[in-house]
Amino acid sequence: GEDVEQSLFLSVREGDSSVINCTYTDSSSTYLYWYKQEPGAGLQLLTYIFSNMDMKQDQRLTVLLNKKDKHLSLRIADTQTGDSAIYFCAESTGGYNKLIFGAGTRLAVHP
């Protein structure tokens, strides 16, 4: 069935790189997504990657996609305290904009 899995917690030092990993099951997903949830707020689309791409870079963010292993990762370079949030991996499935979200990875950035 449809399932998206990701680790629940990640703690990094300010200025280091963060890498959040995700595995998914639906190989027909056209896009794969990373959503960010800041404290007390709803989810917001952070970045995405088209399924026929291996990598996408957007300023401090790098998304890597391994379709063979159905593995997606988000790398945040020079992690700042403002990056502390929950990051959700998601795949699209079944049409009608339906997304399947992972459980979310809580990123804590410490000095």
- Residues contributing to the site for another protein (CB under 8 A): 30-31, 33, 40-45, 48, 88, 92, 95-99, 101-104
Q: How far is the CB of 39 from another protein (least distance, A)?
A: 11
Q: How far is the CB of 94 from another protein (least distance, A)?
A: 9
* E strand residue ranges, 3-104: 4-6, 9-13, 18-24, 31-37, 43-50, 55-58, 61-66, 71-76, 85-92, 99-101
Closer to another protein by CB, 70 or 106: give it. 106
Q: How far is the CB of 101 from another protein (least distance, A)?
A: 5
Can you tell me the distance from the alpha carbon of 69 to that of 57, in angstroms, rounded to the nearest whole number? 20
Can you tell me the distance from the alpha carbon of 83 to that of 78, in angstroms, rounded to the nearest whole number? 10
Closer to another protein by CB, 79 or 92: give it. 92
Q: Which amino acid is at 65?
A: L
Q: How far is the CB of 15 from another protein (least distance, A)?
A: 29
Q: List phi, psi (to 5°) of 82.
A: -70, -10
Can you tell me the distance from the alpha carbon of 23 to that of 37, in angstroms, rounded to the nearest whole number? 19
Closer to another protein by CB, 77 or 108: give it. 108
Closer to another protein by CB, 79 or 105: give it. 105
